[in-house]
Amino acid sequence: MKKKISMNGLIKIVPLAILCIVTGMINPVFFAGSNLIDLARSVSFLLIVSVGVTYVLLGASLDMSIGSVMGLGGAICGLCLVNSLPVWFSILMGLLASAVVGIVNAVLIVNCRIPALIATLGTMYVARGIVNVLTKGEPYYPLPDEFKVLGQGTLAGIPYSVFIAAAIVLIAHFVIKKTSYGRSLMAVGGNREASRVSGINVKRVLFSAHVLVSLLAGFVGIIMAARLSSAQPNAGDGWEMTAVAAVIIGGTSMYGGYGSVLGTILGCALMETISNAMVLLHVSVYWQKITIGIIMVAAVGMDTFRLKKIASK
């Protein structure tokens, strides 16, 4: 088992290492301190969102609204800030708005039994529409300096977001591996009916996972607003696909019941390194989208192949 885990980890690390080396050889700026710090910050943003996505996928569900929830969380927080409300209250309102979307998703999926893809695609458009109505397509600014520290501040040269992401990862990993909730989530993803029969409250487990991913998405939207010194109406656009791809690349099955938060770290690092490398190598943004699409299809294909291989044994 240990040998298998080590091999799986090696398979994920080797492409990342090769990508870093090749990019650094072509453009030495890749290894510049400022670029590595920016890369660490972007990885931390994606990682925070992807932790929530990991929980949802482990439960054999899906959430396509996270990009819009990021925009909504940042917009609500920015709206409060430009109206001179306290920073703590503005952040709380942004998180509350994000949680509401998660609750709506959970009700639609768990209680109304609407397929997760359809339900979250619907709330994705609703949330983005609310953002556009509130902002009228214009960013909210200026934002107070005490708020901008959240996205721009550093400790020993390392962005605060990196420490926040590390704390969230450690907590999420502990919950999955060491608590009854984590075991219940994995069981629900593996077989919902068997989990229900064994006494697990399937609805409660899935409900909490959807609220969690929305909270984390909204939180990242708030941090991004602090980083950019403005709440942008298009914040989070397209992030849902990137996050899902990162989580699947990290080893979490989109069919549920298998995966880890630690694997998600490597998936996020690979996705953001690819994006960073393509920028440094002056690759068109359109090709970047094509690359992400190819990576996601390949990741899902490998996941499907793995499950078929297991089923055939």
- Confidence at residue 203, expressed as pLDDT on a 0 to 100 scale: 95
Phi, psi of 231 (to 5 degrees): -95, 110
pLDDT at position 239 is 92
pLDDT value of residue 6: 44
Helices (H), the chain: 2-26, 33-58, 66-82, 87-106, 116-135, 145-152, 160-178, 180-190, 192-197, 202-228, 239-249, 261-280, 285-311
Separation of alpha carbons 249 and 47, rounded Å: 13
Q: What pLDDT is recorded for position 112?
A: 95
Three-state DSSP class for 155?
A: strand
Residue 230: predicted pLDDT = 95
Give the count of alpha carbons within 13 A of 120, CB side only. 25
Percent of the chain with pLDDT over 70: 95
Distance (Å, rounded) from C-alpha 163 to C-alpha 123? 31
SS3 of residue 140 by DSSP? strand
CA angle at residue 155 from 96 to 20, to 5 degrees? 95
Alpha-carbon gap, residue 175 to 169, rounded angstroms = 10
CA-to-CA distance for 2 and 174, rounded, in angstroms? 19
CATH 2.40.320, domain 34-304, yes or no: no
Residues belonging to the chain: 313
Specify the residue for token string 């940042």. Answer: 74
Measured from the Cβ of residue 10, the count of other Cβ atoms closer than 10 Å reads: 10
- Paired with 155 in beta bridges are 158
For the chain, list residues with pLDDT below 70.
1-12, 310-313
| C-alpha–C-alpha distance, residues 311 and 313, integer Å | 6
Domain boundaries of the chain, sorted by first residue: 34-304
Q: Confirm if 238 and 67 have CB atoms less than 8 A apart.
A: yes
